[in-house]
Structure 1
Amino acid sequence: MEEHVGPSTHNNSKLPPTASIPLPVITSIDALTSADVRAARTSMVGTTTPDINTGALAAPSTTVVVDRNKVNLESHQLVWLDANVNNSEHEDTTVTLAGLRKIIDYTKLFDNISECKEYLKSTENGSTFLVTSGSFGQTFVPEIHEVEIIYKIYVYCGNKEFHQKWASKYSKTKNRIHIKLDELLNDLTNDVREYLKSEIAGTIMNLSGKEDQTTDVFCSWWTHTFDLLCCLPYPMDCHQKLVDTLKSYYEGKENEMKVIREFEISYEPKHAIWWYTRPTFFYAILNRSLRQHNIELIFLFGFYIKDVYYQLKDEHEKLKLKHLKEPKIKLYRGQLMAMNEIKKLKEIDGPNYIVNSCLLSTSLNRSVSLEFLKSAEKSEGLEHVFFEIDIDTRKLARPYGNISHLSYVTAEAEILFMIGVIFRITKGNVTYNNDDKVWIIKCSSSFDSILDFESAFSTGSQRRILKNSINKFWHNSTKMPTRKSEDVNMLFNELIKLFPLEEDWILSYKLCCLADIDMWHEKSTSALSQYDEAINIWLNYLKDDELNCSIDIGEIHKDIGTVYQIYTDDTNRAEEHYKMSFSYLQSAIERSTTEQEKIDILVKLISIVIECELYESLDKYDDALIYYEKAFEAAVKSKDSRWIEIACDNMIETYIKHKNDYQSALKYQLIRHEHILKDNTPQIWDDIDETSCKKAEIADSHIRLAESYILLDQYDLVKLHLTTAKELYEESGKDGRRHLSRTTEKLADIEAKLKEYGLAHEHFNMALKLHQDLLREYEGKLNNEAANSTGKEYHPWANAD
């Protein structure tokens, strides 16, 4: 596709309005000097995000140098294998790197099979267009045909009839045998054009960010990384850093350089989605970095991702208002997916979740989406998959919205989802449609932890906003066993590049994250060393009211106490650090400047008391109850039902197990029950599964109340709550039958105590039948699993040597 410079030259797109700015009189954008561009941009910069001047945090602009010989910024590459590829004596077969880069920017030339094979082995992601000579191909194609990264293979030879015989056996080489160079290059160009069309439409993207895998971890570390990116107060030079890096990478490619210069002068936050939907290398680089979890590139695009987030947030609010009367929407998306991933989703037993780690495009128009999917050419191992997505606009969610009026491409009703949206798939919702020859996957929007970082940067100085954002990231994301130390190092290195003047205290967060990883791996000595180093850094900032680092020192002391309590069994040192943690956090409340910050600190105080359980481990139950009561009061102030319930749980357990005070335990059991009822209030947008879960949650609470009344010998109330629980489990459906059988059995026991023998006999029989049914189902499931067990996995490279 030919790229035009300047919005006014493209007649088939909806263009961003041009700002009215004083510019030098020029005949071409190429005539602008760097100084002109910077001056023009300064005149036209606008914002849709909070107005934060980050100049004080910034360092002089530096270009991120990308070695194009080692790094491919795009989603595809060309590999050319021919003994004569570097031989200028064969003019009729000679190709130039410059010429091939006009078709595919990232091109590698090889004149022997072994080096080519090693290179392909080292290529983990993306799609490869492979051109091979006939003599090499006859040996090489059978070895590498099944490798997933190989997208299409072209055979360039002198005897088409001979090579057609063996090449026709392989789907990736079929009908791609050429004896004329210009015909091969024309074929390659057309295939690349179709590939890029499919990529732009999302048919070769996936939800997880991994090239061969669509399912992903619920609430992943990667999602929290994007939460951070959407909150950082970016320095003013971030735009120019991205431009300079792209200029360095695409030096010598005039079409790309024109687009970069246009982006340099005309980009504004309100045009973020317009640039995302424009079919250029810009889109391809962003999506590749998202799919590959390339932290360095993602941070380079960080300011832009934040702009997209805010545009989608605005459109999300508009969409909700538009659908107040009809809040349920059905969306459609076609894409290619690996068969092994389809099989995983098809075989799920119960609900499963997928998290999109890229921006996800969908449509309100089913027929258009389906027809486009059918037009997408399948490669080996991939299947056509059609998603039918049910959305309820009343649910809390990360932003999504109708971007048709913001898009570069004229499209009706395109709905774009922000990174991190969670979708839910239930059993039986993955089927094959023989009429359309596609797999149908039905899913729905799930409970979604909306971006809670916004409270961190809604008010305060830029340093306070930066610090609160990183603290939120540490608190939310790194207490997970799945993250890697190299990812943590890379992420914080990028943060320090962005904000070099704050390097010291940013480094303290990095040390804490690495210490957390050591804790997961039970490396207590290393963890304690890094926590101590982090505290020593923060102690230098105790008088810095802008940072209020008492919060961080308190959290680190809590983590140190946990190491001593769990990993070294030194309860005295643990108690010492827990007390210091509590003291620092109480001090931080006094210095906090916003209500939200006070609530966040209260939650941290609660977690110290609840999670550590120190006094119980020391058999100091009166002290434990004093601190649990403080945690309960803090939880009530925070208005966080989750923490209120947890605080109640701890007091209930202590009163029952260690104080034999059943009346006090009942008091907190009733408070807990009140919040369970509140949290599980039926909503009109709840689907069947959500309704069932809520009923089961309330039933569980009634069971707990019944157990409390048993301790007080109040059997009439025991029967009342067990009966209510039984009815709720019956309404919750098939998944609640195990609880139903146990509850029915307990109810029969109580009825026997109350000498209601007829009811007791009836309920005993009912419980017995439920137990028998569950046992038969379990045995049947085991037999099915044994019958469906598979053999060894096939690895394409196993026989490559």
Structure 2
Amino acid sequence: MSSELSMTEKMLPASSFTSTSIRPSYYIREPNFGKYDNIEDITVVWLDSHSNVSLDCFDMKIRLRYLINHLLTFHSISTCLEYMNSDIEYEKVFFIVSGSDSEIILPEIHLSPKIHFNYIFCNDKEKYENLSQTYSKIRGIFNDKDSLLKKLISDITSCLSNLLPISILSQASVTQKSLRDLSNESARFMWFQMLIEILIKMEHTDEAKSDLIEICRKQYKNDLVQSKRIDEFEKTYTADKAASWYTRDSFVYRLLNKALRTENIDIIYKFRSFIADLHQQLSVLQSTEPISTDEFLYRGQKLPIEELQYLQKNINGYLSMNTFVSFSRSSQAALLFAGKGEDRPQLESVLFQTEVNDGLAIFANIENVSYYKDEGEFLFTIGSVFRIADIEHIGNIIWVITLVIDTNANEDVEKLSKYLKKYYTGECSLLKIAEILFQIGEYDRAEHYCKLCNEQLHVDHQDRCRLNLLFGDIFRAGKGDFQAAEQFYVSALKLAQDSSLRASVLAGLGRLEDETGKYEAALTHLTESFDLNLKEHPNTTNEIVAKIYADIALVYRHKLDFTKSLEYYNQSLEINLQLLPDLHPSLANLYNNIAYLNTVLGKYDEAMKSYETSLKIQLKSLPKTHPDIATVYNNMAILHECNHDSQLAMEMFCKSLELFSAVLPSDHPTIATLYHNIGASFHEIKNYPKAITHLEKALDLRKKILPLTHLHIAESYESLAYSYYGVYDYQKTLDFCNMALEIDPTRAALHECIGETRSKQHDYDGALVAFRKAIDLCNPLMMKDNRLLARIHFSMAQVLLTQEKLDEALECYKTVSLVPLSYADQDTLAVANMHLADIYTYKKQFRLAIESYKKCLDYNSECVPQVEMYNNLAANYFEVGQEEADEEYYRKALEIRKKILNVFPLDDQDLGITYSIIGTIYYKLNEYDLCLEHKEKARDHLLKNVSMNNDILTNICESIASFYELRGEMEKAIENGELLLKLQMDKFDSENPKNLDILANLCNNLGSLYHQVQNIEKAIECVEQAVTFERIAKISNPELYDNNFEILQSQVITCGNLAALYEEAEATEKQIIMLNRCLEIYSKLVLHSQQKTDLALASMAEIFKMLGGCYSKLDDHHMAFKSYQQALYFFIQLGSNNETMSNEYKENLENAKMKMNNKS
């Protein structure tokens, strides 16, 4: 049975950019807005399982407090390992370990990217020196605390100075890097920069400063030094001191830089007022203290070797240092930070240099406002863009990287960025931050900031309508909580004070109703929204109209009205192409939905082009882990399924599920859809147990979140029915079909499934009832538009064929065979035409059979045996040739048989059969030499496996022997006759008398051949064997052999032949025995059939005459007289008027009498 796992809801089309169904978080996998553990960069871990290190650590913590705040001690290796393997994504760990513990734990952790450096603290340095050769991250072996501290402080200081707060994140983990490659990460950079720009521009109250101080106090609650600095900050900080506090080695620099590097928007939000102050201070300084444009600035640092190699591969590419980053006028000062390559192979010494280009970036000389006023420091604001101009290795010591200040990292992205900024940064507020977070799939954070906004807004604030609308979108698209979403939309509708807002809320309600299956209500609300927008904006070429067109298209898509859906999508696309930048995500979503419709309509090439266009836009305009991208992966997977590439489909489904699972609640409808799709994919590759597992997960989720009468639940029931059919659990198949029909009784495919199941249960009448019900439900649709009808008629025909109702089966197969290839599976059409041809052949309608076999072969399907089809086609041509004595049809049959030989790789059996049939055709064409040639080729191939080909071989050898006998080539005739006899002997069955008769006949014929070459001895041997076979046959069934005229006649011929051979061999006594046996048989013939009396009387008269002659030769004149006497008697009984023969019989009798008297 062909699976019918519905494709309707396997697709996940996004209606438009502003209300895409699902988008994931790409900042923190599970945000906890009230928890901040270590939000610094550095953690020192100290392990010694043999002694108490708490006192040493207490002393070290005091001495390190100016550098770090987070120091952990462990006395258990297992507990330490557990911590190392935990989710400490952000910290760089400096690990101190005792000598004995190092031998155990270092093999477990040395490859971990979390470990920055290792330090061995022990009593015996020499004992552990060899470890430095094995583990490259070991910075030294120490036996005194002072030298350890000195090295540790030096390394931490260097690490802190080298950390540029930029990071490239994946959904599952955060990988911190010093640099960002904008050619690949421009979309993420664009969205993050918009968030920063809103934070900078929005109004900041005293509460913002309080938020910053609160988080800092939590972080440093046990650090007296930093706590005092926080007190100082709280009392003395003003906006003009931002640069001073940033450059000071304090909590501000450490926490802000880590937040920026990890893109932790929650901590960044706490620093919003400080970021704005520092940015504005740099902007003012730049405008009041211009910088010479021919001046070079430098930055020295140590860079991981893999990041340096990455930069080398991207010369002329773009990068951003996504924080406030410092440079210096002095290259010598910068070189001090770069070092001289002493930390290879992990770190390379790097000197960045860039020429001042005032106006392309916001930066300033902060020498006069820095905490350290003598360092000549320049500070660039967040997100400054540079082009990598050159990388040069100087003296095998330091790498010099030349950067050029630039803003045109990506022209298309820049256009999109400018377009989006008009919408998102025109009004900078907390609500706008929530809207951006919603758009990038940060649903939990969007909700969090909506709640903050809700606390701040006055009860009758004008933004409350927008806030409730956004809440509704979050709960609908991000959480799948449709009940909560509806409450928010209703609240928003009550608060909508103008038609524009009311239209937006009505559109939101329409999308919600579409997702919950209330399609008519959805169309009503979307139409109301459209009409309100039209009053506000009479020109229909605007984004709002395009957006509503897309929403309406989605509803029609769910209603399965694909034509109308495509019409609305095309209208939306036409408008958006005029208004939006090339990389706008709305265009990607439209291409995705149009691709979906092309998939449904079977236009797979067009669908793939649209998906590729959609994905190309998304990868450039959205974070790589955005769920709109996951949606396209899902839909492309389904397209690959349609193209029968199940492996690639499975890979894409799993990629899609991975992205969605990272950001959506585990009970979200989209997760259910993905489980359903993966289950369907397992079904396609016939892994039914796994299919059932995933489909049941989907069903369980859908039952929790959807009405029990929702079509998606019916879809799950239906798909489970097909998968249980695959594991032969027919009762569950029927149960799920019936449950699905209770929800949607119009599903013809379900009745088809019931029909297939009934057929498997041998309930053929029940199967036909179900199939006819399915056909009735399909009748309103055109046949050419409904593949299901073809499949149902095919299944129905198979059942009718099983019931041997050939005429009804024939009509069903006819129906299937008339379906155009573009609307039906070619394998189904091929098999239908094959059965159609078989029935025509059975009914001896050979011309119609020929046409059907030709159609079957045209489909080139692997589901039909190609060689067999060509053989059958040729056989039907042969039959027509015989019927009409038409040589043309024989020639066509011959042409096909030759094609079989030339095209298909045949084994010896098939070669033998094919050569034999070709020989038969040549016989019909009176081309006897070619007939004989091909029959002999057939014999030679078939002899290679006699046991499989005995019956065919016997017929071929008999034909060949007859040919040679007719041509007078008796030796070859005998050779094939002997082979024929051997073949028959090999399959001898003593229980079947018929086989004995065949053997007797073959021996007779072979004896005749030997007689013709005057080999009387072999002739006698053969015919004697024939007599033996006949006697054995008679013993096995005496009643048959004594009463069957044909058998008796055959026996008398054999005995007569042998008697004649004995005569030639002068074996008179044996001749007498055979002649008497003939008389015995003839007496039965006379009794058996009065109609045959005359022939029997004549034969008996002749036999007695021959007996008389035999006895005369033996001088037994008495027996000779008696025999002649009997001969004359039967001749007289015959009533013949032949005087000559009468005189001969009388003369023989008189001679015998005279000799008998003379002897006496």
Aligned pair in 2 of structure 1 residues 505, 83: CA closer, same or farther (>3 Å)? Answer: farther
Answer yes or no: is 1:286 the counterpart of 2:286: no
Alignment of 1:408-419 (within 5 A): 408-410=371-373, 414-419=377-382
Q: C-alpha deviations, 1:167-201, integer Å up to 9, x for none? A: 35433324x222233443344334434444x2xxx
- Give me the whole-angstrom Cα distance separating, in 1, the residues matched to 2:487 and 2:295: 52
Q: C-alpha deviations, 1:576-624, integer Å up to 9, x for none? A: 526515625966x9xxxxxxxxxxxx99982123456569985999999
The Cα shift of 1:96 comes to 6.0
Which residue, 230, 241, 257 being the options, matches 2:227?
Answer: 257
- Give me the whole-angstrom Cα distance separating, in 1, the residues matched to 2:534 and 2:297: 46
8 Å contact from structure 2 (residues 500, 532) kept in 1 = no
- Give me the whole-angstrom Cα distance separating, in 2, the residues matched to 1:83 and 1:620: 69
The Cα shift of 1:287 comes to 1.0
Q: C-alpha deviations, 1:213-257, integer Å up to 9, x for none? A: 633621423333222322332332332343344334433433212
- Give me the whole-angstrom Cα distance separating, in 2, the residues matched to 1:166 and 1:509: 62
Q: Which moved more, 1:158-167 or 1:271-280?
A: 158-167
SS of 2:349's equivalent in the other structure is: strand
SS of 1:153's equivalent in the other structure is: strand
SS of 2:439's equivalent in the other structure is: coil
Amino acid in the other structure paired with 2:471: L
8 Å contact from structure 1 (residues 208, 358) kept in 2 = no
Answer yes or no: is 1:218 the counterpart of 2:191: no
Which residue, 292, 297, 311 being the options, matches 2:267?
Answer: 297
- Give me the whole-angstrom Cα distance separating, in 2, the residues matched to 1:420 and 1:261: 30
Q: Which moved more, 1:442-451 or 1:254-263?
A: 442-451
SS of 2:137's equivalent in the other structure is: coil
Which residue, 308, 313, 323 being the options, matches 1:347?
Answer: 313
- Give me the whole-angstrom Cα distance separating, in 2, the residues matched to 1:317 and 1:153: 47
- Give me the whole-angstrom Cα distance separating, in 2, the residues matched to 1:506 and 1:119: 44
Aligned pair in 2 of structure 1 residues 364, 182: CA closer, same or farther (>3 Å)? Answer: closer
Partner of 1:134: 99
Partner of 1:74: 40
- Give me the whole-angstrom Cα distance separating, in 2, the residues matched to 1:383 and 1:533: 58
The Cα shift of 1:300 comes to 1.7
Alignment of 1:636-785 (within 5 A): none
Partner of 2:369: 406
Partner of 2:83: 119
8 Å contact from structure 2 (residues 392, 400) kept in 1 = yes
Partner of 1:189: 153
Q: Which moved more, 1:527-536 or 1:273-282?
A: 527-536
- Give me the whole-angstrom Cα distance separating, in 2, the residues matched to 1:148 and 1:623: 48
Aligned length: 525
The Cα shift of 1:71 comes to 0.8
The Cα shift of 1:136 comes to 0.2
Answer yes or no: is 1:511 the counterpart of 2:475: no
Answer yes or no: is 1:359 the counterpart of 2:329: no
The Cα shift of 1:504 comes to 6.2
Partner of 1:144: 109
The Cα shift of 1:119 comes to 0.9
The Cα shift of 1:112 comes to 1.4
8 Å contact from structure 1 (residues 332, 364) kept in 2 = yes
SS of 1:230's equivalent in the other structure is: helix
8 Å contact from structure 2 (residues 176, 261) kept in 1 = yes
Partner of 2:337: 372
- Give me the whole-angstrom Cα distance separating, in 2, the residues matched to 1:233 and 1:642: 33
Partner of 1:535: 489
The Cα shift of 1:132 comes to 0.7
- Give me the whole-angstrom Cα distance separating, in 1, the residues matched to 2:466 and 2:521: 31
- Give me the whole-angstrom Cα distance separating, in 1, the residues matched to 2:444 and 2:38: 21
The Cα shift of 1:108 comes to 0.8
- Give me the whole-angstrom Cα distance separating, in 1, the residues matched to 2:268 and 2:456: 13
Partner of 1:420: 383
Partner of 2:407: 446
Answer yes or no: is 1:577 the counterpart of 2:526: yes
8 Å contact from structure 2 (residues 549, 572) kept in 1 = no
Partner of 1:748: none
8 Å contact from structure 1 (residues 299, 494) kept in 2 = no
Amino acid in the other structure paired with 1:607: E
- Give me the whole-angstrom Cα distance separating, in 1, the residues matched to 2:62 and 2:530: 64
Partner of 1:437: 398
Structure 2 portions without partners, runs of 5+: 1-31, 170-174, 409-413, 554-562, 591-1160
Partner of 2:542: 606
8 Å contact from structure 1 (residues 203, 334) kept in 2 = no
Which residue, 239, 242, 246 being the options, matches 2:216?
Answer: 246
Alignment of 1:386-401 (within 5 A): 386-389=351-354, 392-395=357-360, 399-401=362-364
The Cα shift of 1:402 comes to 3.1
Amino acid in the other structure paired with 2:96: V
The Cα shift of 1:375 comes to 6.0
- Give me the whole-angstrom Cα distance separating, in 2, the residues matched to 1:180 and 1:622: 77
Aligned pair in 2 of structure 1 residues 401, 154: CA closer, same or farther (>3 Å)? Answer: same
Aligned pair in 2 of structure 1 residues 423, 278: CA closer, same or farther (>3 Å)? Answer: same
Structure 1 portions without partners, runs of 5+: 1-63, 459-464, 590-601, 651-801
Aligned pair in 2 of structure 1 residues 252, 553: CA closer, same or farther (>3 Å)? Answer: same
- Give me the whole-angstrom Cα distance separating, in 2, the residues matched to 1:564 and 1:116: 53
Q: Which moved more, 1:507-516 or 1:158-167?
A: 507-516
The Cα shift of 1:507 comes to 5.3
- Give me the whole-angstrom Cα distance separating, in 2, the residues matched to 1:489 and 1:626: 30
- Give me the whole-angstrom Cα distance separating, in 2, the residues matched to 1:627 and 1:211: 39
The Cα shift of 1:387 comes to 3.5
8 Å contact from structure 2 (residues 339, 349) kept in 1 = yes
The Cα shift of 1:263 comes to 0.6
8 Å contact from structure 1 (residues 403, 415) kept in 2 = yes
- Give me the whole-angstrom Cα distance separating, in 2, the residues matched to 1:379 and 1:451: 46
Partner of 1:383: 348
Amino acid in the other structure paired with 1:421: S
SS of 1:211's equivalent in the other structure is: strand
Amino acid in the other structure paired with 2:186: F
SS of 1:407's equivalent in the other structure is: coil
- Give me the whole-angstrom Cα distance separating, in 1, the residues matched to 2:514 and 2:33: 47
The Cα shift of 1:116 comes to 0.9
Report % sequence identity. Answer: 22
Q: C-alpha deviations, 1:31-74, integer Å up to 9, x for none? A: xxxxxxxxxxxxxxxxxxxxxxxxxxxxxxxxx9977xx71121
SS of 2:209's equivalent in the other structure is: helix
Partner of 1:485: 443
- Give me the whole-angstrom Cα distance separating, in 1, the residues matched to 2:260 and 2:483: 34
Which residue, 109, 112, 122 being the options, matches 2:73?
Answer: 109
- Give me the whole-angstrom Cα distance separating, in 2, the residues matched to 1:619 and 1:191: 63
- Give me the whole-angstrom Cα distance separating, in 1, the residues matched to 2:371 and 2:418: 28
Amino acid in the other structure paired with 2:278: V
Q: C-alpha deviations, 1:82-111, integer Å up to 9, x for none? A: 1145478xx8x6756864763632111111
8 Å contact from structure 1 (residues 424, 444) kept in 2 = yes
- Give me the whole-angstrom Cα distance separating, in 1, the residues matched to 2:325 and 2:153: 27
- Give me the whole-angstrom Cα distance separating, in 1, the residues matched to 2:495 and 2:39: 40
SS of 1:79's equivalent in the other structure is: strand
The TM-score, its normalising length taken from structure 2, stands at 0.39
Q: Which has the higher contact order (CA 8 A, sep 6+)?
A: 1
